[in-house]
C-alpha cells in the first residue's frame, strides 16, 4: 500500500487539514454551527460598543416589560434591557468556556503525553491518579472552593479547567501509546533527538486531531458547568450577568414574565447546539473515532 501511494504521486498535494476542511464545509450542520459561533463571538467581543444599554442600567419605570421596539427582548424586573444582559452574559459564558478548556487541554495534553510516552510504572501511577480524580465528586469541591476563596472569576476558570483535563489526558495517552512504537518515532530516536523534542515535534502533532475534537466538545460542558454554578449562586455575582444567572432569575419569575426564562435559555441552548454540532462535524472531518471515551 505504501508502494502504491508512492507510485501514484498525487498531483496537487493536499494536506490532511485541507481534506478535513473540505469535509467540514460539506457538513451543513457543523458549518452552520461554526458560522453561528463566529457571529456570536463577534457580537460578544463588540458588546461594550454595540449594546443598546449598560448591563447594570436600571429603569424602574420600565420594570419587566415584554419585548418591544425599544427593548427587543424585553426588560427584567429592574428595567434592565434583557438583550444587553444576554450579550454581556455571553461574554462571560464564552470566556469561561474558552479559557477553562484551554487550561484543561494544556494540563491534559502534557500529562497524557508524558504518561503515554514513558509507559510502564510511571504510566500506571499517573493513570491511577486520574482514576482517583475521576471518582471524586468534584462538584462539591468547586462549590467548596467558591465558598472558601470567594466567588472569583479566575479561580472559577482554573477550577473548572482542573476538573476537565482528565478525559483529555486519557485520550492523548492512548494516542501517544499507539504512536510511540511506530517507525518514524524510532527514526527520530536513532537520530538522537531528545525525548522532549520527540514528544513535542513528532508525537503531539499526530495526536492533534482528537485533541481538537475533544476540546470542541469540552467547551459546551464547561459552559454548562459555569451556568450551573451561577444558577446555584456560586458563580458570577450580580449585577454582572451570565447565562446561568439570567436563567436562575428567569426561573424565579417565570410564571409572570416567561420571556425572562425563555430568551436566556435559548441563548445557552443554541450555543451549546452549535458547539456540539461543530464538535461532531470535526470528529467526522478529522476521522477521529471514539473521541468521547
Interface residues with another protein (CB under 8 A) are 128, 131-132, 135-137, 139-141, 143-144, 147-148, 220, 224, 227-228, 231-232, 244, 247-248, 250-251, 254-255, 258, 261, 265, 268-269, 272-273, 276-277, 293
Pick the closest to residue 51 from 86, 97, 92, 79 (CA basis). 86
Minimum CB separation of residue 14 from another protein in Å reads 26
Minimum CB separation of residue 143 from another protein in Å reads 5
- The nearer residue to another protein, 4 or 140, going by C-beta atoms, is 140
- The nearer residue to another protein, 147 or 178, going by C-beta atoms, is 147
Minimum CB separation of residue 146 from another protein in Å reads 9
- The nearer residue to another protein, 53 or 76, going by C-beta atoms, is 76
Question: DSSP string covering 162-203, please?
Answer: HHHHHHHHHHHHHHHHHHHTSHHHHHHHHTT--HHHIIIIII
Minimum CB separation of residue 29 from another protein in Å reads 9
- The nearer residue to another protein, 185 or 223, going by C-beta atoms, is 223
Question: DSSP string covering 86-135, please?
Answer: HHHHHHHHHHHHHHHHHHHHHHHHHHHHHHHHH-HHHHHHHHHHHHHHHH
Q: Which residues contact 208 (CB under 8 A, 6 or more apart)?
A: none
Amino acid at each position: 500500500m505504501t508502494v502504491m501511494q508512492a507510485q501514484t504521486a498525487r498531483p496537487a498535494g493536499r494536506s490532511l487539514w485541507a481534506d478535513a476542511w473540505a469535509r467540514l464545509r460539506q457538513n451543513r450542520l457543523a458549518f452552520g454551527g461554526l458560522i453561528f459561533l463566529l457571529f456570536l463571538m463577534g457580537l460578544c467581543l463588540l458588546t461594550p460598543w454595540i449594546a443598546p444599554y449598560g448591563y447594570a442600567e436600571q429603569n424602574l419605570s420600565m420594570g419587566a416589560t415584554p419585548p418591544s421596539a425599544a427593548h427587543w427582548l424585553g426588560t427584567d424586573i429592574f428595567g434592565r434591557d434583557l438583550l444587553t444582559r444576554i450579550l454581556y452574559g455571553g461574554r462571560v459564558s464564552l470566556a469561561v468556556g474558552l479559557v477553562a478548556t484551554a487550561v484543561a487541554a494544556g494540563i491534559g495534553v502534557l500529562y497524557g503525553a508524558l504518561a503515554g510516552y514513558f509507559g510502564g510504572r510511571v504510566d500506571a501511577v499517573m493513570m491511577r491518579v486520574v482514576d482517583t480524580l475521576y471518582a471524586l465528586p468534584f462538584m462539591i469541591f468547586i462549590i467548596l472552593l467558591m465558598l472558601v476563596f470567594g466567588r472569583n472569576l479566575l479561580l472559577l476558570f482554573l477550577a473548572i479547567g482542573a476538573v476537565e483535563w482528565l478525559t483529555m489526558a486519557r485520550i492523548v495517552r492512548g494516542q501517544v501509546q499507539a504512536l510511540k512504537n511506530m517507525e518514524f518515532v524510532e527514526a527520530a530516536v536513532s537520530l538522537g533527538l531528545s525525548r522532549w523534542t520527540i514528544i513535542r515535534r513528532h508525537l503531539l502533532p499526530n495526536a492533534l486531531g482528537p485533541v481538537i475534537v475533544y476540546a470542541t466538545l469540552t467547551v459546551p460542558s464547561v459552559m454548562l458547568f459555569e451556568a450551573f454554578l451561577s444558577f446555584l449562586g456560586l458563580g458570577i455575582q450580580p449585577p454582572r450577568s451570565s447565562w446561568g444567572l439570567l436563567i436562575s432569575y428567569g426561573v424565579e419569575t417565570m410564571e409572570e414574565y416567561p420571556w425572562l426564562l425563555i430568551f436566556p435559555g435559548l441563548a445557552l441552548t443554541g450555543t451549546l447546539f452549535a458547539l456540539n454540532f461543530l464538535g461532531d462535524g470535526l470528529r467526522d472531518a478529522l476521522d477521529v473515532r471514539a473521541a468521547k471515551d
